Amino acid sequence: MLPLLYLFIMKKILSIISLSTILLASCTKNNDVEPVETSGKTTLTLDAIVGTTDFALNKDFTIGTKTWNFTQLRYWVSNVVLVKTDGSEYAVPNSYYLVEENNAAETNSDHIYPANKRESISLTDIPAGDYKAVKFYVGVDSKYNDNLSLQAGELNQLDGMTNISWMWATSYIFSSLKGKITEGATTKTLAVETGLNANYKAVNLSLPSTLHIGSGKATTILVNADVTKITDGVDIMTTPTVGAAQATVMTAVASNYSGNVFTVKSVN
């Protein structure tokens, strides 16, 4: 009798232990908290192209009846904003970046700006979430354009992107495309620049698919910047030099940067 009672008690104890283990595992599983996703980063790459060909300096590109040879492509990317799928926006603080591919260049001082190539911008501390668009400006907003003593991001006066001839005070050159252009037997020196507050233009780019930015994942927004679109609608052989004295043409070039030059190639 006692052995049977003992076996019965042991079975009950084992059953209680098994049930407790199951309940404990279930509670532990239910109480698991998903880790909170922290801010992330993305790289905005502005890949310069000439039509369907990769942009390069000191190389001939034949487009239609004209042959182009570039020595400089530079422009300011300012006030970058990332737009979430719910429509909310994140403005990247102090976002002033000089995108460029240029030979060594003279400046307004004795300083020689070195040859450089820079197409990628690293954007960090981006709030985690799903994003559908990116916005930025080509140029420098009036706060800094009207007062070069103010500093933000990469703005400075030693990069050859300021000009003393446009206004009574100095201001930033927003974009610069230089080189030579040939049509038939005629070759012209190319110097197409934009500036002045009225030509501070917004670029709005929808992403081809939702981009998730968050901790533990590096992402990239790849944008094509087609140099052939900079002078769309401009008789460049007649007006190969564009500056403040060519105000109407300058505005047309600035508008091209806003609406024609940039397209999103991919996100990943």
Contact residues for 174 (Cβ-Cβ < 8 A; gap 6+)? 75, 76, 138, 139, 140, 193, 194, 195, 199, 200, 254
Number of Cβ within 10 Å of residue 100's Cβ equals 22
Q: Give the model's pLDDT for residue 28.
A: 47
Strand partners, 178: 72, 191
What pLDDT does 167 receive?
55
Largest CA-CA distance found in the chain, in angstroms, rounded: 119
- Per-block mean pLDDT, blocks of 10 residues, the chain (268 long): 51 53 50 73 97 96 95 98 98 98 83 92 96 98 94 92 71 96 97 96 98 90 97 97 95 98 97
Give the Cα separation of 139 and 257 in Å (integer): 10
Any idea where the domains of the chain sit in the sequence? 1-32, 40-267
CA-CA distances (angstroms) from residue 261 to 45, 54, 126, 127, 223?
14, 14, 26, 28, 10
The whole-angstrom separation of Cα 215 and Cα 10 is: 51
One DSSP character per residue, 158-224 reads: SSS-EESSSSSS-EEEEEEEEEEEEETTEEEEEEEEEESGGG-EEEEEEEEEEEEE-TT-EEEEEEE
Residue in 121, 120, 46, 40 with CA at minimum distance from that of residue 84 = 40
Q: In the prediction, which pLDDT does 107 show?
A: 76
- Separation of alpha carbons 120 and 118, rounded Å: 6
